[in-house]
Structure formats: structure tokens, C-alpha cells
Chains A and B, each alone.
Chain A
Amino acid sequence: MGVKYIGAEVQRMEDLRLLKGSGRYVDDITRDRMLHVAFLRSEHAHANIKNIDTENAKNLDGVHGVLTYRDIASSFDLKRMSQLFPAPVIEQNITQYPVANEEVCYVGEIVAVVVAENRAVAEDAVEIINVEYDVMPAIIDCRLALEPNAPKAHNKSKNNLVGVIQTSFGEIDEAFKTADHIFRRSFLQHRGGCHAMECRGVVAEHDASENTLTLWSSTQCPYLVRRSLADYLGENEESIRVIAPDVGGGFGPKAGFYPEEIIVPLLARSFGRPIKWIEDRHEHFVATTTQRDQKWDVEVACNADGLIKGIRGEVTHENGAYVPYGFLLPFTSLTPLPGPYAVPAVDVSLKVVFTNTTPNSPVRGAGRPYAIYAVERLIETISKNLNIDAAEVRRRNFVKEEQMPYATGALLRDGSPVKYDSGNYHSCLEKALALAHHASFKDRQSSARNDSRFIGIGISSYVEDTGLGPYEGTTVRVQPNGKVLVRSGSASQGQGHHTFIAQIVAETLAVSLEDIVFESGDTGKFPHGVGTIGSRIAVNVGPSAYEAANAVKDKAIKLASETLEAAEQDLELSSGNVQVKGVEDLSVSLGDLARTLSPKAGGKVPSGFTPSLEATSYTGSNGSPFASGTNVAEVEVDILTGNVKLINYSVAHDCGTIINPKIVDGQIIGGVVHGIGNALFERMIYSEGGQPLTNTYADYLLPLATEMPNIEIVHEESASPLNVLGIKGAGEGGTIPATAAVVAAVENALEEFNVEIDYYPINPQHLTELIDG
């Protein structure tokens, strides 16, 4: 029999290359005769373009071309980009031109493009393009966007309202009429940007002989890029190949389709030479989609014992200047309501508004951290006002294990009910509390107080819909040398796809991990894929890899049964062979079976078999498996400086069956740190006029090793009944609850000052003001 790989802590198959510096990221790719582009981007948040003078730039030595909207539009139908995720609720569906036409609506919008011998010359030329702007008033603060006299983000739009969405179920008026208590909270939430350590980048090459385009892009979704580009150009999808090579982190914003992914291939074709664009970090701050503000006004109705009867409220969501990504981010801000709690009535509406800032798209967790934060704020509010322990409020309101599967009452966009498939929220809470030594915290807190130290503890519980469909397929093919080729569509940005998929296939086929050859993220190698977003890969690829490997196994056994003249039920797979159970001498190798099914000229495929020892599966998950868990943060606040220091951080996490515990732990820890960054550090500040003020890493703070606590993890493994392996997604569960845990801990540390935090990231200066009352 083979080795038990599923659930094993194996080393990552990806790492050897990457550790030696042999990875290949987009900027590592060079092509013969390659040219380079740099973009001139709008320096104004909102302006009309009066004139663009490119003469000086064109005459610079080494410059091959300087192009504006008019230049490109003279030979190509340069229209606005398409909506990636159309929805009827988007009332003002305004997308951008790949190069601005007459109006620019955020700092960073492309105004002109330079093609040059190298990037340095291209950037020199960008500096000497002269643009005359007619500067228009800009709307920056989402809270003011719907005021009657607010500046309009777009000259020709009727107002700044992009659309309204709502989640509503149960008898909300009745709940609030009959409740013992109603508590209200208002707060602003701010989530920062992507900040993958590799910025975006595109290399494009046109093959004039075959009229095909090849793109290497630092993307999470090569298939989405291919589809979107083919649609934009009105060309065959199969004439475009998109490759996501090694990608240095994604975290959401690399899942979109960007203007540069249109312009660079267009130029590669018109110049007849390969073209490279590499985003620099300054560009990343303004040109890569981000998340920003949400304003929540929300109230909860509950009984005297803390049992919640209803939640209602209103949210304003800052969309940025255009709608590149539909309403996916707003939708995911409401669908998690009411989190892990059995709340009979919910009514929350969300207004999406335009601002003259970089467009929005999901960042790790998407809208879920906002929603979970809101619910957890209400739990804390109940706890404080009714003087019930915060853990106890959660216990009283959690959906119970025996209620699974539990339909919340909310509906998904397709009209199907939101249903929590499995999980044990109580168990996760108790495990997290034990890990955090919660029972003895009061003692720690009072002895710290005796030393004039202010420590606090905060809990946050969450649920997460993972594994967005429809599928992510896998092909498993045994090669004549016995090595197993595994291909999938999904691209990886560091999540260890190669490793965990190899674990599933190797265990099923009883081969070693080293026998697996893995390829993904290349539309030329697998016909269709979806993308690495929404904690969906393990949930979708896990089952398809398992099914495809099992189909190969069945085919191998069936064929071996003829070769070995033994009954199928007497055969097993072991060490790359099919053998009579327990008899190594009576065996045939998988490689030889593969040869039998792919004969040379004049040969014959055995009757009853299709050629090639291979199978493809698109089996995924029958709905969204819900991951869940509880985080506990312990912090110390310096009341002199407002500094917040994390002392301990404990996680109880349930992502169902775990394929590789070390990969899962890596996802959780990295995710928690992202959430801590949201809580304490990452703040994208714009001036009132729309100038980004925090566009270096000296100003925009990312979490560093020195500020991060040790994060301890305990797992709950409640297998999902929705897929064959019981998997739930693990990519975002660290991030989603983290901010709420940290903020609750800070409030707890400052209990005697009665501090109510109304904004994150928590700013030390603001915190000292709150402490001083």
C-alpha cells in the first residue's frame, strides 16, 4: 500500500526552487527584442484632460512611442472595460477606459503610455509629457458622497450612488418592539490594500504567424484575464494564452482584470515586439485595486439574558471611482450576517458610493471582516451593557451543533438559502479560551494593574462561506515513465497548491510525492479554470484531484486485471505498481500500463479502453462549506503613548479535513497578521482633494516581525458533508475575525476609561484622546 499523505505535515514541493532563487516571476521573464512600457498616470483625483503634449517625450533617445487615448483609438475601438461581474443592482455601472479619454476620476488613472528600450528611459519620457488639466471638485469621504451638494465623482453621472443592496429576513420590527434592550453602535471600518510583495506586471508577446497572443501576468486568475481580453478584443479565447508564473502573493486585488492587461498586449501586437510592464510600488498604491472605508450604523435588539432577537442597520461602502469587480465586495459584506449566531431577524442595507479614489475590489477576506467586525462589536456591546461575560454572550447566541445544517434565513444572490453545513462553534470557543488561559485572565489583569500596566483580552468568533463554485478541474495522467502529470487550472500565489494536490493524488495512486509532476496557472495547459479567490481552491481542486486520481486508479486496476489475469478485487496499488494484494512479484508498473494505453504506430489500444492512462474531473463541492472559529487576542496598551502591543494570540480554527497541517497553519498565521495590520497599522490616507498621502512603506505601515505576537493554533476538524474529502477553505479564516479580537482587547484593557473605539486601524494619537476623554 502507499503512504498516508492526506493530513501529513510534508515539506512543500515548491520550496527548493524558490529557496535557491530559481523561481520565475513576471519580471524575471525576458524575450528577444523586448520593449518596456511605463505609464503616465493622473495626478489629480478628478479633472478633465484639455491637452496632452507628447512631443518632447517622443523625441527622447530610446523612446519607441508615446500613446494617448486618441493615438490608440485611431486604429482600435478603445471602449470602456467590461463589467466582470454584472448585476442588476448596479445602478451606475461605470467602468474605466484602459487609457483615460476626456476625464480622469482618480489619482493613478492611466493618461498616456510610453514604449521604450528599457524601463528607465520609459520613465524618463513619462516625466516630460505635458498634460493640461481642468481640475474638477472631487469627492473623497464616502460619508459625504450622498449629501445633496456633494461633488460628483463623474461629470456625467446623476449622483454618487452606485447601487443599494440589502439582506433581510425574519420579523425585524417585531424583534425590536418586543426586545428588552436595544443598543446602537456607529463606527468606520478601514481595510487597506493588497501589498503582495511582488507588484503586478505583464509581459505580452504576439506571434504574427499564428496570430496568437501570450501573456505572462502576475495574476490570481489567468482564465479570467484570458476571457476578459478575448471579449475586449472580440477574438477567439483559444488564440490567447495567459500564464501566471510564480506569483509573489495575491491577496485579492490580483484577481481582477486591469487596463494594463489590455494595453500591453495591444502594444505588443502593434509594435511587433514583446512588451513588458512592471508596476513599481508607488504605482501599486494608486493603480492596484484596494479596499477602503465602510461606515456602519447598526443596532441590536436583545433580551435581558443577552439573547439576540434582531440586528438592523445601514452601511455606506466606499467603492472608489469605477466598478471593475461588480458588487462582489459589497455582497460579501452582508452575506456573513449574522455570523455564527442564531439570530431570527436581520435587516441591513448597504449603499455603494462613488469616490474619486482607486477602485475597490476584495482584499483577503473581502467584505467578511467588515461584517464579522460589526456583529462582534454588537456582542461586545451587549456584554458591557448587560454585564455578562463576553464569552457567555457568545455561548448563549451561537448556532448549536445539533442545529446543523442551519439556514440563517438569508438568501444568496442566486436566491438559494445561506446554509451553514457543519461546525461546532461552542467547541471552537472553549478551545480558544483554554489556549488563551482565559479563565485566569482576570488575575493577570489585576496584577498588571498593580504594576500600572493595562492589559486586555478580546474574543472574536466568525463563520466564513468558502469554496465558491463552480469548479476547479484536475487532469491526472500517468506518463510512460511512471511519473504522474497533474494539471489544474488554478494558479498559486504561495498557497502550496502543488504540495497539497500532490498529497491527494500520490496517496490515491500509491506513488511518492516526488513522482508527481504538477502544472497549473497556464491556460495553454488546462482548458478551463476559475481562479484563486475566496478560499476556494482546496474545496474545489481537492475533490476533483481525488476523483480524477481514483478514476485513473480504477482504469489501471481494470487493465492490470487483464495483464495479470487476476480479479480486480484482488489487486492493489503499491509503490507505482498494480500488484496482486501482498504479492510484489505479481505486478505491473503504472508506467507500463500507460504505455499499453498509448501504443506506437501499428499498435492497438486494448478493447474496452480509451487511450491514455488519464482522467479529468471537475467535481467540486455541493455548495459552500462554512469554516468557523474563534480568536482571542491579549494586548497591552501604553496609556502614555497610545501604543498597543500584542502579548498573546490564540486561534481555534475549523476548516474541516486538513490536507497539510503546516500549510493550513501558515495560512492562518499569515491571515491573522493581515487582520492585525488592519486593526493597528494599515491606513491608506487621502487628502481632502484626493491626493494619496501614504504611498510609501515609510507612511503606510505593514505588520513587521517585531510587532507580531506568537500565534497559537488549535484545530477543530468538523468535516464538511458537501464534498468527498470534507474540506473547507482556509485562506481567509485568519484575517476575518482578527481585527475584531484586537479592537475588543484594546477596549478591555482600557475598561476603566470607558473607551469606545469607533474607527480602525487604531491610531495611537486617537487612542490617547479617547483615554483622556
Chain B
Amino acid sequence: MELWLDLKERKRGMNSREISLKLNGCEVTATVEPRIHLADFLRHTLGATGTHLGCEHGVCGACTVNVDGDAVRSCLMFAIQVDGKNVTTIEGIANSDKTLHPIQEAFRKHHGLQCGFCTPGMVITLEAFLKNHPNPTEFEIRKAISGNICRCTGYQPIVAAAMEAATNLKNQGQ
């Protein structure tokens, strides 16, 4: 009954905040309810549906996006928490000339995806990881993606793709 009173008294639309952020390099301003998590905000308010929701309890990693350089689970973060921050999703990971990012390219080459549902989260996780770990071992890559569940590939082609992407990124950087 208490819950009911609580909900009845809530005036929908009144409880909202205006936030500004950079999504994939573009300035965005929006009005959000404080209870809306970042993934729902990205998907349903901003229409950036490349970010997927697999479990909505912070385990599967499908919803991983990059916030100010860190790979985070957008189902565990409220939209209001990205006010003033830089958010990068799978839609913004490609190179500026629209060619694929070396991680995306390597996924393609090694069949690092099947159904594609976990893929955006995998790519975002690996992008942040490889930036900080340019010379990873295979097991370090496995640890880096241990918070991203893939039911299709058995991970092996993803690991192969990540190893190759690491080499290519390093060569590009030189």
C-alpha cells in the first residue's frame, strides 16, 4: 500500500532534470527522469539503438558504453549521471572517415560475431582496454572481456580478433 501511495503522489514529468552531454562527439541536451538508466536513455530517448540490453542487472556487458574514457555498463548508470560527460557508443567508434575501427575490422575478419547482440559491448570494452594495454597476452584479453557474455562464438574468435587489433592499433600508433 505504501508503494501505491508513493506512486500515486508522484507527478509524472515534474520530476525531471535537464542534462547536456556529448554523444559520439555531438552536443546533446535532453530532459530526463532521474530514474531512467543510461541505456534506456540512449536507446529510447536518443534513438542510439546500437547499445543493447542483455540482462539489465550489470552482468552480461552487452550495454557497455564509453564514458569519459572508461568502459561502463549503461544499465547500471543513470542518464543524469552523464551530465557534462563524453559518451561514446558503437555508433561513434568507427574512424572519422567512417571506415571501421581496427577492432571492428578484426572482428569482421575473424568472425568475432554471430548474432551480433553482444558485439557492441565487446568492441567498446576492448577499445578502452587496448588503449591502456597495448601489448596484451591472450589471457589478459580473456580477463578484459570476462564481464561480457557471448552465447554464440565461444569467445575464441573474439580473442583472436582482439589480439590482431592490438597489433594493428600499435602499428598505427607508431
Contacts and interface: CB of A to CB of B under 8 A. Distances in A.
Interface of A: 11-12, 14-25, 27-28, 56, 59-62, 118, 120-121, 124, 127-128, 195-199, 246-249, 251, 280-282, 493-496, 662-663, 665-666, 669-674, 696-698, 702-706, 708, 710-711, 734
Given A128-B7, A495-B114, A708-B156, A20 B107 contact: no
7 contacts: A195-B151, A247-B115, A282-B57, A697-B59, A697-B60, A704-B155, A706-B142
Interface in B76-92: 89-91
Contact of B113 (A19, A120, A696): A19
A669 B156 contact: yes
A696 B89 CA distance: 25
Interface stretch (B45-53, B66-74, B166-174): B45-53
Contact of B114 (A24, A496, A697, A705): A496
A494 B108 CA distance: 13
A643 to B, nearest CB: 16
B89 to A, nearest CB: 7
Which residue of A15, A22, A128, A710 has the most chain B CB atoms within 10 A of its CB atom? A15
A27 B43 contact: yes
Contacts of A280: 56
Kindly name the residue among A21, A121, A734 whose own CB sees the greatest number of chain B CB atoms within 10 A.
A21
A12 B4 CA distance: 51
A672 B154 contact: yes
B113 to A, nearest CB: 6
Given A197-B115, A197-B118, A19 B155 contact: no
Decide if the interface of chain A is mainly helix, strand, loop or mixed.
Answer: loop
Nearest to B103: A19
Contacts of A18: 113, 116, 119
Contact of A494 (B7, B51, B152): B152
A28 B49 contact: yes
B111 interface: yes
B35 A60 contact: no
Contacts of A24: 49
A248 B52 contact: yes
Contacts of A59: 8
B123 A19 contact: yes
Give the interface residue-count category, chain B. Answer: 35 or more
A197 B104 contact: no
B28 interface: no
Given A20-B50, A198-B52, A704-B146, A248 B158 contact: no
B54 A124 contact: no
Nearest to B149: A702
A705 B145 contact: yes
B76 to A, nearest CB: 13
Contacts of A703: 154
The 3 closest A-B pairs by CB, nearest first: A21-B50, A494-B115, A248-B117
A197 B149 CA distance: 8
B156 A249 contact: no
B54 A281 contact: yes
B136 interface: no
Interface of B: 3-4, 7-8, 12, 35-36, 40, 43-44, 48-57, 59-60, 62, 89-91, 94, 100, 104, 107-109, 111, 113-120, 123, 139, 141-143, 145-146, 148-159
Nearest to A194: B151
A62 B54 contact: no
A60 B111 contact: no
Contacts of B142: 705-706, 708
Q: Looking at A19, A56, A120, A246, which has the most chain B CB atoms within 10 Å of its CB? A: A19
A595 B113 CA distance: 38
A704 B94 contact: no
A457 B157 CA distance: 25
A15 B154 contact: no
A670 B146 contact: no
Nearest to A704: B146
Contacts of A281: 54-57, 60
Contacts of B91: 20-21
A248 B115 contact: yes
A651 to B, nearest CB: 11
Nearest to A496: B114
A670 B8 contact: no
A494 B52 contact: no
B140 to A, nearest CB: 10
Given A18-B113, A62-B12, 8 more contacts: A128-B4, A197-B118, A494-B114, A494-B152, A666-B114, A670-B151, A705-B145, A705-B150
A11 B161 CA distance: 13
B79 to A, nearest CB: 12
A120 B141 CA distance: 36
A11 B119 contact: no
B154 A494 contact: no
B31 to A, nearest CB: 15
A281 to B, nearest CB: 4
A307 B50 CA distance: 56
Contacts of B151: 195-197, 249, 251, 670, 674, 702
A313 to B, nearest CB: 32
A200 to B, nearest CB: 13
B130 to A, nearest CB: 15
A197 B7 contact: no
Contacts of A697: 55, 57, 59-60, 149
Nearest to A17: B116
Nearest to B35: A120
Contact of A698 (B40, B53, B59, B90): B59
Contacts of A708: 142, 154-156
**Which residue, B107, B120, B154, has most C-beta atoms of chain A within 10 A?**
B154
B72 to A, nearest CB: 17
Contacts of A248: 52, 115-118
Name the residue in A62, A197, A674 with the highest tally of chain B Cβ atoms < 10 Å from its Cβ.
Answer: A197
Contacts of A663: 111
A375 B57 CA distance: 39
Contacts of B90: 19-21
Given A20-B90, A698-B59, A12 B153 contact: no
B12 A249 contact: no
A199 B54 CA distance: 7
A21 B117 contact: no
Nearest to A22: B50
Query: Most chain-A CB neighbours within 10 Å: which of B89, B120, B152?
Result: B152
B115 A249 contact: yes
Interface centre among A16, A18, A282 (most CB of B within 10 A): A18
Contacts of B113: 12, 15, 18-19, 494
Nearest to A198: B117
Contact of A249 (B104, B117, B159): B117
